[in-house]
Structure 1
Amino acid sequence: MTFKNIASEQSQATGADDSLPSGDSKDGLTAAFVRRSAAGLEDCGPHRLARRLRDAAAIDLSLGRLLEGHANALRLIMIHGDDADRAALRSDLNAGKTFGVWGADSTPPVNADRGRLSGAKRFASGLGIVDRAIVTSGRGAEQQLYIVDASDPARHDPASWDMSGMQASRSGRFDCSDLAARPIGAPGCYTTEPHFVGGTWRIAAVAVGGIIGLLDRAAAQLLARDHLQAEAQLLRLSPIALRVPAAWAGILRAGCFADGAPGAAAPETAAVLSVSTRLLTEELGQDCIAAVERSVGLSMFAADDDIGCHARDLACYLRQAARDAFLIQVGRAMLGEPGGMAEWLDACD
């Protein structure tokens, strides 16, 4: 099944009146389709949100990335904002606005002075799609969240995104020079748990969507070749498929823990549980790409091949920051309990 066909089926299933770009080139997602796909995310609990992120990423990882950023921004405003911030958010959502979170600084970094920003952000996803962005200024305990109007195309530099994957995410540099900004929350609130690392289960949900999207594409290609039932193919792909349900169950568990009373009571445990799912799906995604390359073969390395494009998107998306630091954090937490792993698992129930 091609990218075009998958997008068409999703559009029909959701009743959307817009669609992903025609053809298999994946030049970009339309703003209208992303906004339609994002509708109602603010009302989703962790199970429903995880499913929506997963299913979007199975179609296109850039769509999953943009929806995850939108969901992240909404939660930051609801958690850290005041009544006026939440009222403005509801008004923007009613108007169909899309949100994002842009944290990575470019050169020069973003700074704030009396409600105006300077500097720039890099890796800003959704240029031309995101209407409102939450950006960070400063570091550590003094780091401040600001909400800005992200819609001015004169501030967008999509040419700075020269990666081989995630081209449809419309990522690039965003210029914050003399940009009006409204602070959200207190200094340092962005990195408080369980809402910072504790929210990485959403990234894991997108990754699982990318994995099952790659498996489904590969299986469809092998079926068309009448190769799917060959034992060699099943031996390559089955070990990936059988690990997906375990990863998915872990994501749902982490989301419910982090977003519920357990996460409020044990925020650091929520962070470890959540980031462990991200690390797990990163390993699973890398193994999936390797297995699909061996199964599908040379055809997926063509520049416009749908399977190859999806694999490159997945490889790019999996390269999140600070992997080693998170792995050390998880190891210390899980292996450092006096009662061993069983005690740590019981603490997550």
Structure 2
Amino acid sequence: MTQDAARETAVLQASRPPGGADDFDARTWRAEVSARFSAAVAAIDAGESRFPLPGSGATAERFAALQAVAEEDLCLARLVEGHVDALAVLAELDGPAPVPGQRWGVWAAEPPGEGLSAARDPAGRWSVSGLKQYCSGAHSCTHALVTARTEEGRRLFAVALASDTSEPVEGTWQALGMAGSDTPDVRFRSAPADPVGDIEGYVNRPGFQHGGIGVAACWLGGAHAVARPLRAAVARGAGPHAEAHLGAVDIDLRAAGLLLSAAAAAIDADPMDRKGEARLHSLRVRGLVEAVCDRTLGHVGRSTGAGPLCRDQRHARNVADLTVYTRQHHAERSLAELGALVSGKEEG
């Protein structure tokens, strides 16, 4: 079986929901992840689960916690990462203080299309209207940070999600990989909104880069999960070829982990990015981790064959989820930006 065929098999196998039914049931899958998301947020609120803020001196602990969640379930990690990222954004931009029990998402994707616009009434009250794409946790979040266009430029807003002003658009999240992340479009209709930060403040703050590295920590956790069947096969005596594949995977995972740790230390040493190196760190970490994920998928697939993909639903889901999740990376566009930065030729 070719590598591409193996991944296609993984996607087909991953279409089966956790209960084992033959037909794909997105609602059941979504509900399971949503329940675990609620429990995870409750643990964070109670101080039982720690995700220290970036730059607090414990950024490595934050990244390790995200990686650990992702090793268990990438869909859950996507929602947890969004929640803790929102808490970091609110803290950095002096937004409204979150209240225990609230489940936050960060919905800031800006693909081509209608998008969101924000307007202010004569009394100075803001509202947002339009379509926001890729809203992870659309059915389970209680609040969201959303980017929207204003007359002055793009701005971030905090929105309490209510059925009369915001509604997920059914049928807009057809993914099999990352199905449980519940990431459809959401239609907003004059939803009351509170501005958070200044014009372009969301993307211009140092934490935007720190958050991008947090996503990479989730990817890395997913790669560790995908590698499990290969480790098990080698432990059973699969032979020298499998051992060689595992050796290559081990080098990659350890190198990515070291770079992630180095980035965490750099963030703690310069949380406000006075050296102007945050973007460089983010591009390097995300670029390496994405490449490591891709190579890990290849090594594991080539060494273990179709067996784990066809008979281990957990592994099939991990492969499908990681394949979709890492497509958040901007691929050659990000590599070109990194190349410009390290060559000193970046404009501006």
RMSD of aligned residue pairs (Cα, Å) = 2.7
Q: 1:251 aligns with which of 219, 243, 260?
A: 260
- Structure-1-length-normalised TM-score: 0.79
Structure 2 matches for 1:287-302, cutoff 5 A?
A: 287-302=295-310
- Structure-2-length-normalised TM-score: 0.79
| In 1: Cα distance, 2:91 partner to 2:245 partner | 44
% of aligned pairs identical?
A: 24
3-state SS of the aligned residue for 1:129?
A: coil
> Where does residue 33 of structure 1 map in the other structure?
36
Q: 2:114 aligns with which of 108, 114, 117?
A: 108
Deviations 1:227-266 (A, max 9, x none): 44x1111111220112212211211221232354365312
CA contact (8 A) 2:33 2:180 kept: no
3-state SS of the aligned residue for 2:118?
A: strand
> Where does residue 321 of structure 2 map in the other structure?
313
Unaligned runs of 5+ in 2: 1-16, 22-27, 121-125
**Letter aligned with residue 34 of structure 2:** A
Q: 1:218 to 1:156 in 2, by over 3 A?
A: farther
Q: 1:73 aligns with which of 86, 89, 94?
A: 86
| In 2: Cα distance, 1:285 partner to 1:321 partner | 11
| In 1: Cα distance, 2:33 partner to 2:287 partner | 31
3-state SS of the aligned residue for 1:130?
A: coil
Q: 1:236 to 1:30 in 2, by over 3 A?
A: closer
**Letter aligned with residue 307 of structure 1:** H
> Where does residue 8 of structure 1 map in the other structure?
none
| In 1: Cα distance, 2:249 partner to 2:152 partner | 41
Unaligned runs of 5+ in 1: 1-20, 338-349
Structure with the larger RCO, 1 or 2 (CA within 8 Å, 6+ apart): 2
| In 1: Cα distance, 2:258 partner to 2:210 partner | 16
Deviations 1:181-229 (A, max 9, x none): 1111111101114222343110111011001111124433x269x444x
Structure 2 matches for 1:1-349, cutoff 5 A?
A: 23=19, 27-28=29-30, 29-38=32-41, 39=44, 40=47, 41=50, 43-44=52-53, 45-82=58-95, 85-86=96-97, 89=98, 92=99, 94=100, 96-105=101-110, 107-114=113-120, 115-138=126-149, 142-150=153-161, 152=163, 155-220=167-232, 222=233, 226-228=236-238, 230-261=239-270, 263-267=272-276, 269-302=277-310, 305-336=313-344
Kindly state the Cα deviation for residue 301 of structure 1 after the two structures are TM-superposed: 4.1
| In 2: Cα distance, 1:141 partner to 1:239 partner | 50
| In 1: Cα distance, 2:159 partner to 2:170 partner | 18
Q: Greater share of helix residues, 1 or 2?
A: 1
Q: 1:151 to 1:128 in 2, by over 3 A?
A: farther
